[in-house]
């Protein structure tokens, strides 16, 4: 399930979502929409969950850009996706790249916010 902010929805060229734990394929302690790559959940389930989130935002799963949170103050700018398992340590990520989704995983990977730049090239 994806929730939206009326404030962000009013911004031209921005697609966003706050995902809940509902609507995914994970079970047990990770039920249901777990998107955490390092959570201990089955990688194939996490991949399916991330694909569902990407689809809801109308971006390809390989265009999701995430970081490994360290509870610090570092923010990174992403031009192109760096690959899921190559995610650098930081606590925020921004992008101006077209059709790229900046992802922040929170609450033990149960929910995340995505803001996708849809500006024209």
Those residues whose C-beta lies under 8 Å from the C-beta of residue 119, and which sit 6 or more positions away, are 13, 96, 98
Q: What is the pLDDT confidence band of residue 116, given thresholds at 50, 70 and 90?
A: low
CATH class of 2-6+13-117: alpha beta
As a whole number of angstroms, the distance between CA 50 and CA 38 comes to 13
Whole-model pTM: value is: 0.82
Q: What is the DSSP string of 25-89?
A: S--GGG-S----TTSSS-HHHHHHHHHHHHHHTTS-GGGEE--B--SSS-EEE-SS---GGGPPB
Q: 35-90: per-residue pLDDT in tens?
A: 888 889 999 999 999 999 989 888 888 888 888 888 888 999 888 888 877 889 98
Q: What is the pLDDT confidence band of residue 1, given thresholds at 50, 70 and 90?
A: confident
Chain-centre distance for alpha carbon 69:
13
């Amino acid at each position: 399930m994806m929730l939206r902010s009326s404030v962000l929805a009013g911004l031209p060229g921005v697609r966003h979502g706050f995902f809940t734990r509902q609507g995914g394929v994970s079970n047990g302690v990770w039920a249901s929409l777990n998107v955490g790559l390092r959570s201990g959940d089955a990688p194939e389930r996490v991949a399916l969950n991330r694909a569902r989130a990407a689809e809801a935002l109308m971006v390809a799963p390989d265009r999701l850009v995430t970081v490994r949170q360290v509870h610090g103050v570092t923010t990174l700018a992403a031009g192109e996706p760096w690959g899921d398992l190559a995610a650098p340590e930081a606590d925020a990520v921004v992008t101006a790249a077209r059709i790229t989704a900046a992802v922040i995983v929170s609450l033990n990977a149960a929910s995340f916010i995505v803001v996708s730049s849809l500006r024209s090239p």
